[in-house]
Amino acid sequence: MKNVIVYTSNTCAYCTAVKDYLKENGIEFEERNVSNAEYRKELMALGFMSVPIIKIDDEVVKGFDVKALDNILGL
């Protein structure tokens, strides 16, 4: 099983879409909302300032990119 982390914000519609997509496909994930300063610092350390960012093991997907997610997750 892959380790999936989704960086989100409270007002991001694409973040909700990513979470729904992962749930619909039975993919377990950890949500890290950037309203938490610690998670915001983690996101910035990865080199990003926007959400959603999906970290799957050592790979990172920026935005709600279904093709990239399908490819990495083997869907």
Q: What is the CATH number for 35?
A: 3.40.30.10
Q: Is the pLDDT of residue 74 over 90?
A: yes
Residue type, 38: E
**What kind and span of H or E run contains 69?**
helix 66-73
Residue 65: other Cβ atoms inside 10 A: 15
Give me the domain span that covers residue 51: 4-73
Does the pLDDT at position 1 exceed 90?
no
Beta pairing partners, 4: 56
pLDDT tens per residue across span 9-68: 999 999 999 999 999 999 999 999 999 999 999 999 999 999 999 999 999 999 999 999
Number of domains in the chain: 1
Rounded CA separation 11/23 (Å): 19
Classify residue 24 as exposed, middle or buried by CB count within 10 Å of its CB (0-12, 13-18, 19+). exposed
